[in-house]
């Protein structure tokens, strides 16, 4: 072990902070943080091999974005935290991210070209101390792909005259409905009076 590691041993809940800004092509790819599939424990001392095979990959995604923010954008993975850990080995966290190219346009502002995304995820325990390493790579794997279509989001404001037109239409509908109710009440009242008059005439004739 190195002198630096001996002088500053790991502490409880100590970890690494990974922060990066990358330019990627619009093709499917995978970002993997962990121990690869072709890891050979025999190349390390027994102590180091046990440490590597039993690494705890609990993590928290503070922020993940594919471009600048725009109004209404929801970063699905922001704040996502995973804390499961297997004492008999390690774990494999898989995030499948589907990135959707998006253009946001608003009256009076420059158009914003960005991306939104959806995510499916799962976690599986990996028994790393098996005799063969025919198991998934342990760690955190994020696979992303881009959809072949683009979403256009447009935010517009209605003019004052359009607002007045809508108000007039609403008021006209209210007056029309009130007129229908008044006419219905008048016809109902008229028919009731006519029936009462016929009944009174019949009694008088009798």
Name the one residue in this structure whose structure tokens are 């517009």.
156
| Per-residue pLDDT at 48 | 54
Q: What is the DSSP string of 160-198?
A: HHHHHHHHHHHHHHHHHHHHHHHHHHHHHHHHHHHHHHH
Instruction: Give me the numbers of helices (H) and strands (E) for the chain, helices first please.
Output: 3, 7
Question: Cβ(152)–Cβ(101) under 8 Å?
Answer: no
| Per-residue pLDDT at 99 | 95
Walk along the chain (206 residues) in steps of 10 and give the mean pLDDT of each run.
Answer: 61 77 89 73 56 77 92 91 78 92 88 94 78 65 93 80 81 82 76 58 51
Cα 60 from Cα 21, distance rounded (Å): 17
97-to-28, 39, 120 alpha-carbon distances in Å: 10, 26, 7
Cα 118 from Cα 77, distance rounded (Å): 9
| Per-residue pLDDT at 135 | 54
The pTM assigned to this predicted structure is 0.65
| Per-residue pLDDT at 126 | 77
């Amino acid at each position: 072990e190195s002198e630096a590691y001996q002088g500053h041993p790991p502490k409880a809940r100590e970890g690494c902070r990974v922060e990066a800004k990358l330019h990627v092509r619009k093709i499917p790819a995978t970002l993997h943080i962990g121990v690869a599939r072709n890891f050979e424990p025999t190349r390390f001392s027994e102590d180091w091999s046990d440490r590597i095979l039993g690494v705890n990959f609990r993590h928290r995604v503070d922020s993940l974005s594919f471009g600048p923010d725009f109004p209404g954008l929801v970063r699905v993975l922001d704040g996502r935290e995973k804390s499961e850990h297997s004492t008999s080995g390690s774990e494999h966290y898989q995030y499948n991210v589907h990135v959707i190219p998006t253009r946001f346009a608003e009256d009076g502002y420059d158009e914003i070209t960005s991306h939104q995304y959806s995510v499916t995820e799962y976690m599986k325990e990996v028994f790393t101390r098996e005799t063969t390493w025919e198991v998934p790579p342990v760690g955190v794997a994020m696979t992303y792909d881009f959809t072949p279509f683009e979403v256009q989001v447009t935010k517009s404001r209605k003019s004052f005259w359009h607002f007045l037109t809508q108000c007039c239409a609403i008021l006209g509908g209210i007056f029309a409905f009130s007129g229908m109710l008044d006419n219905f009440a008048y016809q109902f009242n008229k028919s009731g009076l006519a029936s009462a008059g016929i009944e009174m005439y019949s009694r008088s004739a009798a």
